[in-house]
Structure 1
């Protein structure tokens, strides 16, 4: 699962949710799952809460996720 937060042309923060799946025959499928508008701040806690809501609503098991990568952007205090 890849999450990408950005601000659109009307100053609304949105999070794009992309999914990459690898099957038992090693074929790969990638798909844009959804866009989620974010209200107010977009702190790390806000993004994590949105992530938890996504995996809960889509019934995605954390045991199926095998990696985590960040873009290394600094966070505000």
Structure 2
């Protein structure tokens, strides 16, 4: 329950190992910042970069398919995960998790449809090149 607090522990371990393996360079490891804010910021930067790269690939899709999976988390909130598989003009296949969506109220078919529709809109994916949908969700 200590979010991103392991960075300082990892830093201490790195410094101890560096003293034994490369003692002349061990000072460099003490200059590394692994505070909670730094770790959180770096995780956000990596996440944003992944999103940008995926959206770049999505832009080149000639067709794509979707897969959905829905489950309930420990706080009794429904979580919908949307997976995308697309192919570009060079027949390069991209298969990634497109989004994870919390469904706050109900999980009727209409709710899932609107969540997926918003996800597609956010990622500039049009229904005109959608070729298939796979799910094991029972729509009510």
Query: Taking structure 1 as the reference length, what is the TM-score of the superposition?
Result: 0.79
1:3 to 52, 68, 77: 68
Aligned Cα root-mean-square deviation (Å): 1.8
* 1:28 paired residue number: 93
Aligned residue-pair number? 75
| 2:111 aligned residue (3, 25, 46) | 46
The whole-number CA distance in structure 2 between the counterparts of 1:28 and 1:34 is 18
TM-score, normalising length: structure 2: 0.47
Structure 2 residue ranges without an equivalent (≥5): 1-65
Where is the strand percentage greater, Structure 1 or Structure 2?
A: 1
SS at the partner of 2:136? coil
Unaligned runs of 5+ in 1: none
